[in-house]
């Protein structure tokens, strides 16, 4: 991980993905999906089954998850409001920071980095999750899947984020956990750092990577 310090020292801004990067949110997402399925009278997703798309915008995430239990895709528009209600009621009670995240953010703030979030979570949910976990004040800009016209991997969310930060692309880095983040960064000519212990899958990691790490402890070790 020490090799990340030389790269980060050349940057003015660090942009983070959220789910699977700073926060472990899968338990709340799974619970809300299963609650919605049960309310709909459909069988729920077994705990042994991995949710296949935790990096997409809400509709894609939910659609791919309920496909595991053969939920009819034509009924997805009816199911989604049930999910949204349960997810809001849960209030991210089962989501938490990855170890070392707060310490890293404090270190980066002390070094006067501009910090931002660029996530495929809708913005209101992203803000609530950041508030709930006590780190929202670290970030100058929070971009969700509905903040701009397109979600990641389209370049617009990241370009918007950097414009709001007033930082040129070459002086920024995106830290994320999936190929979606990597492709978004590449399309913006922004260096990408991969969090290997997030929700990405090895076969999806065929992306341009400037650095990678498994745990946050020592990410900025010099």
Residue 35 shares a structural domain with residue 132: no
Residue 156 shares a structural domain with residue 182: yes
CATH number, domain at 207? 3.40.50.1000
Domain span including residue 175: 4-24+96-213
For the stretch 22-38, pLDDT in tens is 999 999 999 999 999 99
Residue 98 pLDDT > 90: yes
Domain boundary among 90, 107, 125: 90
pLDDT averaged over the chain? 94
Contact 163, 170 (CB under 8 A): no
Residue 147 pLDDT > 80: yes
Q: β-strand 114-118 against 23-24: which pairing, if any?
A: unpaired
Q: Within a domain: residue 179?
A: yes
For the stretch 159-171, pLDDT in tens is 999 999 999 999 9
Residue 175 shares a structural domain with residue 102: yes
Residue 69 shares a structural domain with residue 145: no
Domain boundary among 73, 90, 107: 90
CATH number, domain at 41? 1.10.150
Residue 1 pLDDT > 50: no
CA–CA distance, 1 with 173 (Å, rounded to integer): 16
Report how far apart the first and last C-alpha atoms of the chain are (Å, whole number): 9
Contacts of 148 (CB under 8 A, 6+ apart): 156, 157, 160
Contacts of 20 (CB under 8 A, 6+ apart): 26, 54, 55, 176, 177, 178, 195, 198, 199, 200
Residue 71 shares a structural domain with residue 153: no
Residue 121 shares a structural domain with residue 148: yes
pLDDT at 129: 97
Domain boundary among 74, 90, 106: 90
Residue 117 shares a structural domain with residue 9: yes
Residue 104 shares a structural domain with residue 82: no
Residue 84 shares a structural domain with residue 17: no
Residue 123 shares a structural domain with residue 101: yes
Count of structural domains within the chain: 2
Q: Within a domain: residue 221?
A: no
Band (pLDDT 50/70/90 cuts) for residue 205 is low
Contacts of 158 (CB under 8 A, 6+ apart): 15, 118, 143, 152, 174, 184, 185, 188, 190
CA–CA distance, 185 with 152 (Å, rounded to integer): 9
CA–CA distance, 180 with 163 (Å, rounded to integer): 20
């Amino acid at each position: 991980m020490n090799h990340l310090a030389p790269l980060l020292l050349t940057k003015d801004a660090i942009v983070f993905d959220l789910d699977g990067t700073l926060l472990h949110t899968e338990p709340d997402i799974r619970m809300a999906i299963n609650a919605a399925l049960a309310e709909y009278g459909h069988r729920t997703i077994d705990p042994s089954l991995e949710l296949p798309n935790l990096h997409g915008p809400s509709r894609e995430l939910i659609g791919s998850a309920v496909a595991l239990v053969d939920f009819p895709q034509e009924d997805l528009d009816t199911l989604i409001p049930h999910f949204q209600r349960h997810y809001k009621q849960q209030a991210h009670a089962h989501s938490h920071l990855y170890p070392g995240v707060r310490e890293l953010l404090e270190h980066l703030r002390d070094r006067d980095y501009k910090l931002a979030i660029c996530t495929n979570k809708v913005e209101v949910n992203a803000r609530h999750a950041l508030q709930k976990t006590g780190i929202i004040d670290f970030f100058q800009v929070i971009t969700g899947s509905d903040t701009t016209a397109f979600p990641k991997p389209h370049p617009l969310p990241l370009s918007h984020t950097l414009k709001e930060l007033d930082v040129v692309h070459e002086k920024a880095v995106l830290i994320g956990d999936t190929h979606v983040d990597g492709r978004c960064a590449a399309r913006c000519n922004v260096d990408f750092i991969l969090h290997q212990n997030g929700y990405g899958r090895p076969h999806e990691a065929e992306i341009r990577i400037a650095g990678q790490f498994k745990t946050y402890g020592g990410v900025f070790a010099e």
